A and B are shown apart, each in its own frame.
Chain A
């Protein structure tokens, strides 16, 4: 290997550049910008203001934070549901007034005053909710108007009652304690806010209502179609917001023991800025309590800091207006361009070099030389089936295949003209295996491992495996389960081709060529799945060896077949059986003569092989060119390869015309015939294998306890028949 290539291998294979894309897929990166902003704000004001971090100063700030945070949380919930609530400022003011009125004029106990404040907030919120949720008014203007209404009402009330409140002789120690007391060094209000935040977080992330709110905010119409009561959910978000403003107002009243003309003025702008600066998305769907918390702290620190630094009237509005515009622009551009950035940087190719000694050229003379025999295969279900990735037959000779439509279709023996939907799964069934009891185990693309009983009942077996410690993407999830086979003890061995891409993006994995494929095993006794081997470049077909002691695994983008020992002295280890084939292997299945059939989904090309050695080239290609112009592996011509237990290639089948089976993803031998499937094909091929055992079936080979005798009995029966023919012929002639 020349130096530049060694260097590029070092750079692209050693530096985990794929992590950038994986981190960007995480929802928590949304919090990164608000978090940095918050840190910056605290750092700036912490250094600019003397004694900012002094306990007394912090105590005072956190006391205000408690009230403000509760308001912001309410607004966050409304925004998450796709709305907005500007009336929080006046609801807050009205609740302050009602608390004060309750305590100082009506001389209510604290608990009743709290109820009064909360009820005020809830009623105002319900008023908003009816207008916006049920009457479907525009949230922004409506709450702007209710803000004015509430504010006017408050002004009227404060003029009417203000004097009486000022003169009130009532002293309520409990009330004062809530406002000015501390518990364990923390102000009461921040403790209440903390509990409130926790409850709101649980509500949003763990409860049905919370999920409904996110769903409505994310896509109102989809939520409606999914049966979520959209209007009621929207209504409830405003009620929650009103309640929050009510609680916050109560805390404010307790802190200041009174209400003045300016109470709550401008709060709506500060709260809105806080919610947006924290990273809650306008228009809904994205947001969390943590974001609201970060925004609240940032905005409060800033507004308080400006006052303490002595900046005059208007500076707050100046900064809030700027922050609001900046945060909204950032939020909108981020939401709009995130997937573009992700698409730009996600593909992170690595260097991969394969030897190119073998060739599949038809007249190349090598062991892999493809021929034209598959063009003779007769088609089944021509034009009726779409994408039979894998095919399998039962003991009665009925044919099963998964289709693009998320179904397993059964064609009836012997002529396969009649068909029925055997089972509807909903995902694309990729690998099929027949269990001892005749049920079918299937790997469903992007879903997991499923079992289909003989009566067509679908059972989910596994959708996750163990999470590895250092992965950024959630590799517990099965992204691309591809093929499965069943061991003698009933354990299901299956592959998950890649942890980087979803099933429909499998070609991107070929361009990246990063070894993330895995071999997994599902144990029916425990119901658990675990990863037994990883680091494969697109783990694909699996097949239990004839002796049941090892598993053969196809590694598509490395063009290799491996053997994984499940018992014996080498149990748990993997060894390479065939390396650097000229084609990309897909499913592997047993053959009647003790060998194996292997499907090739395509053959290698020198150009793509070369590009695999130049990760920088592929990286530039994916960044600068539209997808249609990318260089992909050739999947237009594949074939079927037969190899024996030692990995020696003993035969090939190809379709040089490209009419019948240009790309082969599976094949299954049954009673002397080979049934051929292709994930992009519109037919299932049926090919008579010359000289194959006419009684051999795959199921018998796996599950008949007399496998050996049948295998031996086959030829002997045939021999007997031949003998009888020979014996009868002379008679006939005679």
Chain B
């Protein structure tokens, strides 16, 4: 504990070292792990996860959590594609979905900031609501293919920038932009203050409530972006992903990377490192041909261990913790 706290061996460094060790171990033990294609596959596999983690990271730094991200990611994209499929012009569909996604973010923010509902409940409820609404009203099947009229999405998915797949580029851009915002803008600094001590930030005069809404709008938009990239890569979007463990992978990335769930700590670097570690780990398990359900069990166990370590490293502050903060 004391070693961990002294800063010489922060959680971030441990994770980074662990990632390197894992990488080295896989490189030695697994055939084909070091192949350029596989390395690119690792990057591609974590980029959607990483983009989601960027949005989640911003929210968690402000001491929130957004459990509706995966629902928004899948359902917004599915709704958009379904509208285009049904003949709506791609532009109009995009505008409508944009409004819908922003609305979900605002509802989350209103529930959390103004109605003072704990973030976990508010976003759990909106996740269920969004899934239910889109699934029962706007789409007819679990999977929605990208229609020919929206071929620009497919072209976008095929695009390369400096030989990098577009999703990797987007992950890099999202992480870098968020880094700039969190580090150099007033909004970003306020997010840290708010996450560190909500009451004090509020007393200082920081507009914490509008900022919470802003955070959740950002995370909803980021989720939508992740959905579009997924659709571009897979040429369709499967809404069953909502019931998968993707959401917990996102939390895993954020927590493992070292953004404490009690807020006010960490940054985009943690997200990148966390995403890399998870990517390496999952890739290795896939090469080892572990079935998905075993992978889930292992990931969940790792997340649990990460939560235990997180609670040891960032114990909840009883002074600023709210009643009902569960």
Contact = CB atoms under 8 A, between A and B. Distances in A.
Interface in B104-159: 111, 115-118, 120-122, 124-137
A463 B297 CA distance: 59
Contact of B133 (A131, A283, A318): A318
Interface stretch (B175-183, B267-275, B302-310): B302-310
Contacts of A320: 128, 132
A501 to B, nearest CB: 27
Given A145-B304, A333-B115, A156 B294 contact: yes
Contacts of B135: 312-314, 317-318
Contacts of B301: 149
Interface residues of A, number: 51
Contact of A324 (B65, B125, B134, B307): B125
Given A135-B311, A138-B261, A332-B116, A283 B127 contact: no
A328 B300 contact: no
Contact of A317 (B116, B118, B128): B128
Contact of B308 (A131, A314, A321, A332): A131
A281 B326 CA distance: 12
A148 B117 contact: no
Interface string B284-301: 000000000110110111
B307 A149 contact: no
B74 to A, nearest CB: 12
B36 interface: no
A142 interface: yes
A149 B129 contact: no
Interface string A126-157: 00000100011111111011101101110110
Given A321-B128, A324-B125, A325-B117, A145 B133 contact: no
A324 B124 contact: yes
A318 B128 contact: yes
A76 to B, nearest CB: 15
A318 B307 contact: no
A148 B300 contact: yes
A317 B324 contact: no
Q: Which of A159, A311, A324 has the most chain B CB atoms closer than 10 A to its own CB?
A: A324
Contacts of B316: 136, 138
Contacts of B118: 140, 282-283
Contact of A138 (B115, B116, B311): B311
A210 interface: no
Contacts of B31: none
Nearest to A306: B136
B309 to A, nearest CB: 10
B318 interface: yes
A265 B242 CA distance: 13
Q: Is the interface of B mostly helix, strand, loop or mixed?
A: helix
B187 interface: no
A402 to B, nearest CB: 36
Which one of A84, A141, A318 has the greatest number of beta carbons of chain B within 10 Å? A141
Nearest to B302: A145
Contact of B111 (A82, A135, A219, A329): A329
A329 B115 contact: yes
B245 A328 contact: no
Contacts of A83: 326
Given A283-B326, A329-B115, A314 B131 contact: yes
B70 interface: no
B211 to A, nearest CB: 20
Nearest to A132: B326
B73 interface: no
Interface residues of B, number: 46
A65 to B, nearest CB: 22
A322 B245 CA distance: 23
A318 B132 contact: yes
B132 A84 contact: no
A221 interface: yes
A199 interface: no
Contacts of B116: 332, 336
Nearest to A318: B132
B23 interface: no
A320 B132 CA distance: 9
B323 interface: yes
Contacts of A332: 115-117, 324
Given A156-B294, A321-B126, A315 B303 contact: no
A319 interface: yes
Contact of B125 (A219, A315, A321): A321
B304 A149 contact: yes
Interface in B248-298: 248, 251, 261, 293-294, 296-297
Nearest to A157: B293
B324 A141 contact: no
A511 B316 CA distance: 46
Nearest to B115: A329
Contacts of A318: 128-129, 131-133, 135-137
Contacts of A329: 111, 115, 117
A152 B311 contact: no
Contacts of B304: 131, 142, 145-146, 149
A385 interface: no
A149 B132 contact: no
B131 A139 contact: no
A264 interface: no
B124 A153 contact: no
Contacts of B326: 82-84, 138-140, 282-283
Contact of A314 (B65, B136, B251, B299): B136
Interface string A69-96: 0000000000000111000000000000
Contacts of A19: none
A269 interface: yes
Nearest to B110: A329
A219 B321 CA distance: 13
A284 interface: yes
Contact of A325 (B122, B307, B308, B318): B122
A141 B129 contact: no
A316 interface: yes
Interface string A208-245: 00000000000101000000000000000000000000
A146 B296 CA distance: 11
List 7 tightest A-B contacts by C-beta distance, closest first: A283-B324, A318-B132, A314-B135, A321-B129, A321-B128, A317-B132, A314-B136
17 contacts: A83-B326, A131-B308, A138-B326, A141-B65, A141-B120, A145-B304, A152-B296, A152-B297, A155-B296, A156-B294, A315-B132, A316-B132, A318-B129, A321-B128, A325-B125, A332-B324, A333-B115
Interface of A: 82-84, 131, 135-142, 144-146, 148-149, 151-153, 155-156, 159, 219, 221, 265, 269, 272, 281-284, 311-322, 324-325, 328-329, 332-333, 336
Given A221-B318, A265-B243, 14 more contacts: A136-B311, A137-B311, A152-B293, A152-B296, A282-B326, A283-B325, A314-B134, A321-B124, A322-B125, A322-B129, A324-B125, A325-B111, A325-B117, A325-B126
